[in-house]
Structure 1
């Protein structure tokens, strides 16, 4: 019997769920994390699997994950990146490997509580959402180094993108697989996943809910105050791709036309001065500014045309970027964990 058929016969049954956890040098928290996932999903009324993605750790995380997966059973799947590509790449690898109708993500540092996942699944289905974002309402982090920069960043992101959430940085999320798998995560896009999801679904289908948050128990944080500057750069990229991702010519063309109009007006004024008033304009700074604006206009317009050609070529070929990965557990023998 298929999973969908089983769900039809049992209305209380939930869709198959894939839990994706990217990990980087979290060897101390691996055992407790996998144990807490099993405790949190022990009564989940549906099939589920756990996908642990080792992001090129050098502290033995991959080896320990393989041992834990062997003990836990075939529903625990381990995926190892060949080197450290970053959290975004690890999450994308997990999304590509997920087989569930729903996908949940959380950090591997024990600060997110897996027990929130079943409730979030129920809420996502009840509210008919495509993404339910966790909100660490009582965040257990340093006030100056983490909380204040995060609040400022969340406010700026909401203002710029129009997708207003309290906590973009919380990794605890539940997605519909068919939606998140339409999004290709590159660079450090994991910080703005709700923004990228808004590019393939209506913002009204993105919600948030309060979740538990604990202080870090093992290891050290991989983030610092320096990430604030990277967030600002990523925000500019997110804004551009969200508004002009499929029509970059409009972005560059608008700037080119503006510069061209300003340069043209300056030149028109100088022509009146030259031929109407008979004054010399050769040494006027305005002449050089006008020439600069006209040259910049031409450059922006040609850049827009080239960007349009590249965009059309990209969508025509449908090529995707993949990172070098290898399965640490056999995907052919992977199974599901089911509440009996």
Structure 2
């Protein structure tokens, strides 16, 4: 099969038939073998009813329905698990992603050997203040933090090799950072293509300003996991040792200072009267806790199945 098109959706009953007809037209014009996988993320309108009709009309249409709204990342994860095409295309169901981009995205994966190609909505039809400007700031921060040089991380229109989507796990709100997840998994050839952005035709956006706040928090999470997820001791252990040594040195200085004053019959105070004694004690305790956190993290990693620590690209003559 050439292409799997994975489409997560929430309350998009007005656009589904038109989107299906548009995709079908492109698939037939290019003689692609394909499947379209709709993932209904707990819609409360007639979306599932429309999808049932489409599956009866077109055997290449498949569908998954969640019991409730779990989020776009979980919808994509479910779709990726079922996708069988050599190239997997993701797109939104609101008609803002243009299916006419699919053939070129497919060729970039198959002919130019990209692992992943992300769409770039260079010209947008969103409100400048509420979405466009925050999106630019968000993408700038994502580029600087992740090292993946994309202009539009949040574009729903992306193309992947099947191998890529089978070797990454999209959870939480990490759908924005699939290119970063792919890079961390060892897929380095990540490209970008300017795509047409359509104005929303039906309904209204499901995302508000809170998505940017959540996006930045997720960015911190994925940065931390990519740098220290496999070696937590490198962060917690190092800071723990530094803090413990600072506290220990300070406490040692206080003790030696008192002994010196005692030996030379100089006036002195009780060690416990010095605020630095409590500061040094607190610092040593925090340092010990950080070190133990890193140590426990290492134990947890080593208790996992070893096969979860790496991904195999291919095998030859193995049974």
Using the size of structure 1 for normalisation, the TM-score is 0.85
- Structure-1 separation of matches of 2:170 and 2:119: 19
- Structure-1 separation of matches of 2:128 and 2:99: 24
Q: Are 2:16 and 1:30 equivalent residues in the alignment?
A: yes
- Structure-1 separation of matches of 2:180 and 2:260: 54
Match of 2:79 among 91, 94, 109: 94
Within 5 Å, give how 1:1-12 maps onto structure 2: none
Q: Are 2:235 and 1:251 equivalent residues in the alignment?
A: yes
RMSD over aligned Cα, in angstroms?
A: 1.8
Within 5 Å, give how 1:140-159 maps onto structure 2: 140-159=125-144
Match of 2:210 among 223, 226, 234: 226
Q: What do residues 56-100 of structure 1 show as CA deviations (whole Å, max 9, x unaligned)?
A: 1111211211112211x2111111112211100000000001011
Q: What do residues 114-165 of structure 1 show as CA deviations (whole Å, max 9, x unaligned)?
A: 1101101112333321110100010111111111111101111111111121
Within 5 Å, give how 1:286-305 maps onto structure 2: 286-305=276-295
- Structure-2 separation of matches of 1:277 and 1:63: 86
- Structure-2 separation of matches of 1:117 and 1:169: 18
> Which of 91-100 and 158-167 deviates more?
158-167
- Structure-1 separation of matches of 2:135 and 2:272: 53
Instruction: Tell me the number of residue pairs that the alignment of Structure 1 and Structure 2 aligns.
Output: 303
- Structure-2 separation of matches of 1:267 and 1:70: 77
- Structure-2 separation of matches of 1:49 and 1:130: 20
- Structure-1 separation of matches of 2:196 and 2:67: 33
Structure 2 partner of 1:69: 55
Q: What do residues 200-255 of structure 1 show as CA deviations (whole Å, max 9, x unaligned)?
A: 1243x111110010111111111111222211211111111111222223222122
SS in 2 for 1:229: helix
1:179·1:201 contact (CA, 8 Å) conserved in 2? no
5+ residue gaps in structure 1?
4-15, 319-340
> Offset at 1:197?
0.7
Structure 2 partner of 1:313: 303
- Structure-1 separation of matches of 2:295 and 2:25: 55
Q: Are 2:127 and 1:123 equivalent residues in the alignment?
A: no
Match of 1:212 among 193, 196, 207: 196
| Cα pair distance change 1:219/1:263, threshold 3 Å | same
Match of 2:35 among 46, 49, 59: 49
> Which of 261-270 and 26-35 deviates more?
261-270
SS in 2 for 1:198: helix
> Offset at 1:290?
1.1
2:87·2:109 contact (CA, 8 Å) conserved in 1? no
1:255·1:297 contact (CA, 8 Å) conserved in 2? yes
> Offset at 1:45?
4.3
Structure 1 partner of 2:316: none
- Structure-2 separation of matches of 1:115 and 1:124: 16
> Offset at 1:258?
2.3
Structure 1 partner of 2:313: none
> Offset at 1:41?
2.5
Larger radius of gyration: 2
5+ residue gaps in structure 2?
263-267, 309-319
> Offset at 1:111?
0.4
SS in 2 for 1:115: helix
> Which of 74-83 and 265-274 deviates more?
265-274
